[in-house]
Structure 1
Amino acid sequence: MAELVRTNDPGLISVIEGLLGGAGIAYQVTDRNMSVIEGSISAIPIRILVPDEQEAEARELLTDADLGNWLRV
């Protein structure tokens, strides 16, 4: 699995989930529960992962949606 994005912004996470789901790209959101448990200090960011074989397609999709600045290197 390749990490695409790491953030605590619920709006951004929702948009990315919609884009990936709409494009048929499998994804996994990790650490969502841990982020909620730790409260609002943002110590544990939520990560969005995609299968390695769909990483390039997912990165292109987010870049085309002007979200490329959120992509992990």
Structure 2
Amino acid sequence: MIELVRTNDAVVISFVESLMRDAGIACFVADQNMSVLEGSIGLLQKRVMVDADKADVARRILK
């Protein structure tokens, strides 16, 4: 899996997940539970991960 996006913004994470789902690209939000545990400090960012073979297509969708 390749990191596509890293952010603390839940709206951005949801939007990227939606774009990937609509394009038929499987994605996974890494560190979702860890960022909840640390509270609202914002030290641990969530990451949207995609398969390496779909990374180029996923990046084009985000541009």
TM-score bracket for this pair, using the shorter chain length: over 0.9
- Provide the TM-score with structure 1 as the length reference: 0.84
Higher strand content, 1 or 2: 2
Aligned match of 1:66: none
Paired position in structure 1 for 2:28: 28
Per-residue deviation, 1:38: 0.2
Structure 1 unpaired stretches of 5+? 64-73
State the identity %.
49
Q: How many residues align?
A: 63
AA partner of residue 31 (structure 1): D
Once residues 23 and 53 of structure 1 are traced to their aligned partners in structure 2, the CA distance between those partners, rounded to angstroms, is 14
Alignment match, 1:15 = 15
Q: Return the alpha-carbon distance in structure 1 between the equivalents of residues 49 and 14 of structure 2.
A: 14
Cα-Cα RMSD: 0.5
Alignment partner of 1:52 is 2:52: yes
User: What's the counterpart of residue 5 of structure 2?
Assistant: 5
TM-score (norm 2): 0.97
